[in-house]
Amino acid sequence: MTDIEEELGKAEMLLAHEDFEKARKKFSDIIKSNPGSARAHFGKAEASMGLQKVTAEEIMELYKKAWELEPDNVYYLTTLGSFCADIGRFNEAEQYYNKATEIDEENASLYFSEFAIAYFTKAPVIMEKFLDENTKRMIKKKALTYLLKALDMGPDEAKKLLES
């Protein structure tokens, strides 16, 4: 095992034990000596999630950097999408999930459905101040559109199926 692999293993162990402060520091040290380590940037983002002092913007930049370093890593991409949904940045979340479907077409239905459920469950909470009937309908429509994409089905086909 290489030195970086060993150090990443130690940092990931700290993260697994929820020692977020030490894990974040360890990942930061790894990044200093290996700035091209996507795994270290991703790990630092994950460790940062457990620390209130770290801003959402900083966490998002770490996730983005990990994905930029490994652009075909769908896990990094969907984690970034999920994080964007968590903080109410739904347009960005949608873009990242759609990008995941382009990279990993075989599992596109998974990414479409994951976005649909994230949007359906999180948008009403984020948009609570503006949650009138039109907004509720808009949220449901977008979520349903993505669920239909997950099923590789259009609205007409879904309607026929439901009416049969």
Asked if domains 1-70 and 71-164 share a fold, the reply is yes
Is residue 54 pLDDT above 60, yes or no?
yes
CATH dotted code for 71-164: 1.25.40
Q: For residue 23, which phi and psi values (nearest 5 degrees)? A: -65, -45
Least confident of 1-5, 26-30, 35-39, 158-162: 1-5
Cβ(114)–Cβ(82) below 8 Å:
yes
Is residue 12 pLDDT above 60, yes or no?
yes
Average pLDDT on 32-57 reads: 97
Name the packing angle between helices 56-69 and 74-86 (round to 10°).
160
Instruction: Look at phi and psi of residue 104 and say left if phi exceeds 0, alpha if psi is from -120 to 50, else beta.
Output: beta
Give Cα separations from 147 to 106, 109, 142 (angstroms).
16, 8, 9
pLDDT (0 to 100) of residue 80: 97
Containing H/E element for 157? helix 155-163
| Cα–Cα nearest to 58, from 67, 45, 69, 75 | 45
pLDDT, tens digit, for every residue of 21-36?
999 999 999 999 999 9
Is residue 1 pLDDT above 70, yes or no?
no
Residue 70 DSSP class: S
Domain 1-70 belongs in CATH node 1.25.40.10: yes
Sequence spans of domains, the chain? 1-70, 71-164
